[in-house]
Structure 1
Amino acid sequence: MRMDMRVRVRLSTAAVSLALGTLVAGTHGGCAAVHRPPATPVSIAAAGDAAGAAHEATTARLIDGLARRAVARGDRTLDLLLLSGGGQHGAYGIGFLRGWRTRTDAPMPRFDLVTGISTGALQAPFALLGTEAALDTAATLYRNAAAGSAPTVDWLFWLRRTGGVVDTTRYRRAIAAEILNERVRDQLWVEFNAGRQLATATTDLDLGIGRVWDLGRELIAGPGAPDRVQSVLLATTAIPGIFPPVLLDGHVHADGGLVSNVLPVLDFAGSRRLAARLRALGVTEPVTVRVWVVMNLWTHPRPLVIDPANRSQLAARGNLLLFWAQQPQIPERLADLARAVSADVPGLRMEVRYTAIPSELAGEPGAAALADEAWMRRLEKLGYDRAFSATPWDEITSPYRRPRPR
């Protein structure tokens, strides 16, 4: 009976990790029970307006920062990097960035804004720094995840009331020691002073909406800033029901990929705001916004032979497709946005490029694991080689057709 339970938990964890695109997550206390301040449906609903206002303020601040950064650059270009969720498959993204950085014919730009969701949020600080040392550090985190920071099953989860079934204590420590240590924070501070920005998003489970976090602003907020940002990073990677949730400002937060697996920041209205701010700052020539998207997963699930009489199989496939059908729509919608902005927002042009793990690898051994060292090393090399290839970027795809095998 106990072995059966272990198998079920392992399979459930792996499946949800693959579906929601997360690496690891937790709460401040690892295995400590989660408690929240008293709340009622009325009080939660009443917080909706404040949450909406906070979102508008945060995105406006990020967009205003982009306008100032464009002026500082002076070359009429802005570079935005969007890093998706994807769990252990984030090794592909880090490999891609490492390979891209070493190219001399098409060099990786110094990004003006880096956003990351879930595992992408863990990569984002290193991508913003963009140095060989920073990206090598991030690669090491993935290589060592299975032995050093991946969560383990908490067999007393039914007693501890953490809201999850895994113990994320060592992952919490890894965030503090490797991502938010004083050296990295000092390096990020230099970039923030230069006008470069870093953002992520979580899902407010109480309100049922996403929340955008300006990590640069959070990191300079005061003495408790590192702990606060640690909580945000834990939250954006917290698979509901598997990993403990995180309480932020009295609300229950979890994986940012529940709302969207990338954080664009710029939508059509935001692009118009950016153009207006550029004009107000005296920019008269068109500015090109280059959006680079690294999908830390594949865009389509592996094909399966479905038994039409098997209700559990049908339900499982249907639930997974609720997630997977959204993935090819991410680059598709960004490409549509780029066309609309370039055509209808005076003073702005937008370009979109993206890369993703080949969908034909979705059924490979190790792909469904929570943290498989051999698989992560394979993906890192794949990403590195892809960035060096003649075709590092993918063609825009659709949920209505499968991509061509590479």
Structure 2
Amino acid sequence: MPRGGLSMAVRRTNRLCTFRAMSTHHRRRLAERLALLLSPVALGTALFLQGCARIRPVSTETDLLVRREVLAEKHAETLRRQFGALYAGIRDEYEAKRAEGSTEPPTCDILIISGGGDYGAFGAGFLKGWGAVGNEGIPRPAFEVVSGVSTGALIAPFAYLGSDEDYDEVVELYSNPKDDWVRERGLLFFLPANESFAEVPGLEREVRTAFGEERIARIAAESARGRLLVVNTTDLDDGGSRPFELSHIAADAARTGDPSKFHDLLLASSGIPGAFPPREIESGLYVDGGVTSNILYGGDLKRNRGLRTLWGEIAPGLPPLRVRYFVILNNSLNATPQTTQRSWVAVIERSVELAVRASTLTALRHLLALAHIANLEGDTTAEVRIVAIPDDWRPPVPGVFKEETMRALEKLGEEMGRDPSSWRTELD
């Protein structure tokens, strides 16, 4: 989830609660805006617009439960098919290298990129810096699986393709935020009929530009090799997390020439609820994947066992598959202590921040436990490496999507990426 995630809307409201702290000029401007808001014309317009709100057709609970089952079956079938192709590729590569004298075990490298909003600049920088690591550490691999949530979803396709040019481009994107990435709706931002407090014309433009026909075709080509690119979203209608196989969707987009679903899914996964517009896809309404899971790692133990069994079916007689998880957290592991004021705005903002952080730590501990179970059962071996922004790092300037902060994070990420000791294999 973007840094500040759900609380962005709360902070927007908080501007109306700081009147005394404003300069005379700003107090006058706010008073003028409030006077306009409270005028009969403005109130009449607000009521009219409220009545014109677009209402979605309401599905019955039974219909939604059927939809849930269909989507779950479709997702499981797609995963098994994609992992079957992936494992076959790993098997063939292993046998070819073994014939050349290599003693390395068959390996599946998985990259997991968390949410974090503008702090995604850290992850972009880290991935670029990692490319400089040689045999003194673990060189940056060509990942078999890449998953991303929220800002991590925007970074994930670049990491999936993995060329130096791709890594340079995502660094350039996160080092140069534009003013129109997020734009307030104006005086009537607060109307319940609005989809969100803000619009994201600049972010939509960046997504369309970055993921044009050529890059989507490259993603589709990698999908044909069995590699997986997955982003997490939150399905508001179903009430839970819904991962999408973006590599598979890129293949559809390349075939049909219509990239709109690919773009919408990236915007949905990074769509701060309430602050950014939700996205309607395949009759469902989707927002930020960080609402339900800030990292996407496949935490279903039964399904994981099934995938491990699948390796034995596809590669009988070969050594156990080595699975290496690399987790990039676009935030610090621990919260920064601070005095919280006794206002509902401050309490909600701090509470949401702590809730997201706590759920992320729980997910990381679960991933470490799953790796331990896999190693005990012996049909695969698993390694988990985690990197995060140091707890003592502080932004140089206040605010979100500030160029100075994002460039500082990108530089920090590059420095840590070049240092093999940045990885940690356990949590405190």
> TM-score band, normalised by the shorter chain?
0.7 to 0.9
Residue number in structure 1 paired with 2:126: 96
Q: Distance in 2 between matches of 1:157 and 1:45?
A: 34
The match for 1:293 among 320, 324, 327 is 327
Aligned to 1:173: 205
Q: Is the 8 A contact 2:84 2:314 kept in 1?
A: no
Question: What is aligned with 1:125?
Answer: 157
The whole-number CA distance in structure 2 between the counterparts of 1:191 and 1:9 is 38
1:310-357 deviation digits (Å, cap 9, x = unpaired): 66644443333211212222322211111111101x320000001011
CA contact (8 A) 2:9 2:274 kept: no
CA apart distance, 1:41: 4.0
Contact 1:354–1:393 (8 Å) recurs in 2? yes
Q: What is the aligned partner in structure 1 of residue 297 from structure 2?
A: 264
Name the residue aligned to 1:336: 369
TM-score scaled by length of structure 2: 0.79
| 2:243 pairs with 1:209 | no
Q: CA deviation at 1:10?
A: 8.4
* Counterpart contact for 1:37–1:250, Cα < 8 Å: no
Q: CA, structure 1 residues 324+161, in 2 after alignment: closer, same or farther (shift >3 Å)?
A: same
The equivalent position to 1:382 in structure 2, one of 389, 412, 421, is 412
User: Sequence identity, in percent?
Assistant: 30
Q: Within the alignment, does 1:11 sit opposite 2:41 as a pair?
A: no
Deviations 1:3-31 (A, max 9, x none): xxxxx96834999xxxxxxxxxxxxxxxx
Q: Tell me, which stretches of 5 or more residues in structure 1 are unaligned?
A: 1-7, 16-31, 399-406
Looking at structure 2, the residues matched to 169 and 33 of structure 1 have their Cα atoms a distance apart, in angstroms, of: 21
CA distance in 1, matches of 2:228, 2:128: 20
Question: Hey, what does 2:81 align to over in structure 1?
Answer: 61
Residue 140 of structure 2 corresponds to: 108
How far apart in 2 are the matches of 1:160 and 1:314? 22
Q: How does 1:226-305 map onto structure 2 within 5 Å?
A: 226-265=259-298, 267-284=300-317, 285-305=319-339
Query: Residue 59 of structure 1 contacts residue 265 of structure 1 at CA under 8 Å; is this kept in 2?
Result: no
Give a deviation string over 1:60-110, Cα, whole Å, max 9, x none. Answer: 334334322321331511101011111111110011110111222231011
Q: Distance in 2 between matches of 1:266 and 1:60?
A: 15
Structure 2: stretches of 5+ with no match in the other structure: 1-7, 16-51, 95-104
Contact kept, 8 Å, 1:113 with 1:128, in 2: the verdict is yes
Amino acid across the alignment from 1:279? G
Paired residue total? 369
Partner amino acid for 1:90? Answer: G
**Alignment partner of 2:109: what SS?**
strand
For 1:100 and 1:173, how far apart are their aligned partners in 2?
A: 29
Hey, what's the Cα distance between the residues in 1 that align with 2:13 and 2:126?
Answer: 26
Please, which moves more after superposition, 57-66 or 252-261?
57-66
Q: Between 225-234 and 278-287, report the one with greater CA deviation.
A: 278-287
The match for 1:51 among 25, 47, 71 is 71
Deviation at 1:57? Answer: 2.5
C-alpha separation in 2, matches of 1:14 and 1:377: 27
Deviation at 1:197, TM superposition (A): 1.6
- When the two chains are superposed, the root-mean-square deviation of aligned CA atoms in Å is 2.6
TM-score, with structure 1 as normaliser: 0.83
Would the aligned equivalents of 1:116 and 1:200 in 2 still touch at CA under 8 Å?
A: yes
* Higher deviation after alignment, 119-128 or 190-199: 190-199
CA distance in 2, matches of 1:334, 1:384: 25
| In 1: Cα distance, 2:207 partner to 2:55 partner | 23
Gap change, CA 1:38 and 1:379, over 3 Å in 2: same
SS at 2:365's partner residue?
helix
Partner of 1:393: 423
Is 1:188 matched with 2:219? yes
Alpha-carbon contact 1:275-1:348 (below 8 Å) kept: yes
Evaluate the alpha carbon distance shift between residue 339 and residue 10 of structure 1 in structure 2; reply closer, same or farther with a 3 A threshold: closer
1:111 counterpart SS class:
coil
* Closer/same/farther in 2, CA of residues 354 and 33 from structure 1, 3 Å limit: farther
